[in-house]
Structure 1
């Protein structure tokens, strides 16, 4: 019996020594960013930003160090899977997509259509749904991967942070796939733009300030930029805060608007479709270049009403542009009809692109100024003193 115990102990010891099929971290090549472009001969071009382990130590620093912590590999072909294998053939390690942070799509490819590309992303179990996705404005996705940013050695990560801290929020692959699968909304993606260098800049920088508009076939049909993109995202329910400067007769006033919310109510009257958009938020005054004393309710309340009326008119103008110029419901009004009028939606669903431009949209804004700063009126100048 004692020999039997010894034999069992030896067997258990051997089983606890380790795993024969383990993968060491040194066996992986970490794929940080992906670029998808259209080559001159019409083929699909895929580029990968892959971390270089030898230079990874200082990857988060970047200050004063020109040494790259990544390489950019490119392949061209007909399918994403084939291109991934071509890139794998160029690496001595197994590619690992679990750390991929962003996907960049060249504008030419976006205009051609992304249905086939999205099919692969939705099937591949290695794809992270929280991966950020961008369209590159007037450029190729590969151009972004090759940027040497002073903030981070991986431009794919810089783009994610840029999108998160800019006013447009962040759009992930998951959000686009959800919009593709619904009938009452059309997809949109933030657009990234590489800013031109000047004499003082040693490194390139990028901006996220516009949004690409897609139709139901995932073809890019246009873009909105600047304030229009912010208003579009507010109505869509994506925008959570923003800095805003309004010009009124008395001067200009700048606010930080937070806790932004939206609600949409729809109404069907015969062949007429109406949508009532309500936008709400809280305002904090950052700059007051008027003689209005915002510390008193008697002057602040009329100012609130004036600002809300101005904002409502501008949002209505942006929605009208989306209706007449692009005809694509990136706001989700169709989804609201689907929820409120499910039986009527069955008749509208297949022809929603024809109905959306005819929707009568009314916008109301209720932004309440809760913080006016330490002073009411602006600091008086010579002309203001009596």
Structure 2
């Protein structure tokens, strides 16, 4: 009898330790936020939230009531949490932030500094750290989130996918998550970057379904290169070629294409299929660091508008040397441009100095941005052409021989 009573008491005690579903959230009570936008406002922050409309997410033509797959809610507040809470006065459901794919900052806000916004995001337990950070070039974040995009029903998914595709196949833009941005922000030997996006075309109906009801959409969201930061503030933009240089140095190039001039004045197109870089540091007679970026790349020929005889090994080597010269000169020039114009080490040279010469780094740490402006940086590349295609001789030469 005593044993039976003891078992009942232990069973009752164990029930109090079970959490059950006390923290459950019903899907019908949630508004799933796919993208967030933060802009500058005179009273603090102007926040936009792109929310999925689950009843219409399968069609861009709208449902029975004519609604679209997403709805963008906007509110202002002295802090970002206050602005999000103020949205609840217009949304029929509670905002759920765990599925955010992209966070867009307006350019004006980014130039003032994104530190406070990043602080809130890292404190919010719902938000993950694997979504992409973007800067809206020459416009507000709210304008970007208003655009109805083709292909993807949810514009936030379109933004997310376009970043992945552009970075993987073109390498002319960044692919920066919140976690990566925070790591670079906290380091003393580098500055962070972000991906840039901008609105292209007629913006009069960018938020209407009419935007995608023609063969050529009236307005599109276009990748706009890399946004350069110094600490948490946006200080400038990089074009296509300088953005590729950043990705080469950071080992972020998976594939990209380009062209070179042949010895006879023709043009050869190529695709980079593999690229790896490493930074070597040496000290000059004054014990000042000098950096050499060693780039090793593999390429395939994709086009040839020349009479060059590709059956000759010397011809292939000539193209390789021209590729190497292009990399050496163009990358070095792009790095000098960033040094002289922005004084922002977005290549991680200071971090590499810290890693290779920790004692020397102590003397540069507090004034590295000033040192970065004048430090010597050169590029040495080694390019191997692996494939020339199934046609050895160019068509132009074959037609002349017939």
So what's the TM-score if we normalise by structure 2? 0.86
Secondary structure (helix, strand or coil) at the match of 1:244 reads strand
Deviations 1:143-180 (A, max 9, x none): 11111111112211111111111123522111111100
Distance in 2 separating the partners of 1:382 and 1:374: 14
Please, which of 368, 381, 387 is the counterpart of residue 352 of structure 1? 368
Counterpart for residue 231 of structure 1:
245
Please, which of 29, 37, 40 is the counterpart of residue 31 of structure 2? 29
Deviations 1:200-242 (A, max 9, x none): 53453211131111112x1111111112211121112222221
Matched, 1:369 2:374: no
Counterpart for residue 149 of structure 2:
149
Counterpart for residue 134 of structure 2:
134
Counterpart for residue 181 of structure 1:
186
Deviation at 1:255, TM superposition (A): 1.0
Distance in 1 separating the partners of 2:21 and 2:109: 45
Deviations 1:82-107 (A, max 9, x none): 11211234323222111100011111
Higher mean C-alpha displacement, 274-283 vs 229-238: 229-238
Counterpart for residue 68 of structure 1:
68
Give the direction of change, closer, same or farther, for the CA distance of 1:135–1:20 in structure 2 (3 Å limit): closer
Counterpart for residue 113 of structure 1:
113
The answer as to whether partners of 1:131 and 1:173 remain within 8 angstroms in 2 is yes
The answer as to whether partners of 1:144 and 1:156 remain within 8 angstroms in 2 is no
Secondary structure (helix, strand or coil) at the match of 1:277 reads strand
Matched, 1:165 2:165: yes
Matched, 1:95 2:100: no
Distance in 2 separating the partners of 1:296 and 1:352: 49
Counterpart for residue 47 of structure 1:
48
Counting matched residue pairs gives 378
Counterpart for residue 86 of structure 1:
86
Deviation at 1:42, TM superposition (A): 5.6
Deviation at 1:56, TM superposition (A): 2.2
Deviation at 1:71, TM superposition (A): 0.6
Distance in 1 separating the partners of 2:359 and 2:129: 32
Deviation at 1:121, TM superposition (A): 1.8
Give the direction of change, closer, same or farther, for the CA distance of 1:369–1:46 in structure 2 (3 Å limit): same
The answer as to whether partners of 2:292 and 2:377 remain within 8 angstroms in 1 is yes
Structure 2: 5+ residue stretches without partners? 204-213
Give the direction of change, closer, same or farther, for the CA distance of 1:128–1:305 in structure 2 (3 Å limit): same
Distance in 2 separating the partners of 1:256 and 1:28: 46
Deviations 1:315-337 (A, max 9, x none): 00000001001111000010110
Distance in 2 separating the partners of 1:112 and 1:125: 26
Distance in 1 separating the partners of 2:178 and 2:396: 51
Give the direction of change, closer, same or farther, for the CA distance of 1:337–1:28 in structure 2 (3 Å limit): same
Distance in 2 separating the partners of 1:141 and 1:360: 38
The answer as to whether partners of 2:137 and 2:224 remain within 8 angstroms in 1 is no
Counterpart for residue 296 of structure 2:
280
Please, which of 208, 223, 247 is the counterpart of residue 261 of structure 2? 247
The answer as to whether partners of 1:150 and 1:203 remain within 8 angstroms in 2 is no
Distance in 1 separating the partners of 2:299 and 2:174: 18
Structure 1: 5+ residue stretches without partners? none
Distance in 2 separating the partners of 1:235 and 1:353: 18
Secondary structure (helix, strand or coil) at the match of 1:287 reads strand
Deviation at 1:298, TM superposition (A): 2.1
The answer as to whether partners of 1:68 and 1:148 remain within 8 angstroms in 2 is no
Higher mean C-alpha displacement, 21-30 vs 318-327: 21-30
RMSD: 2.8
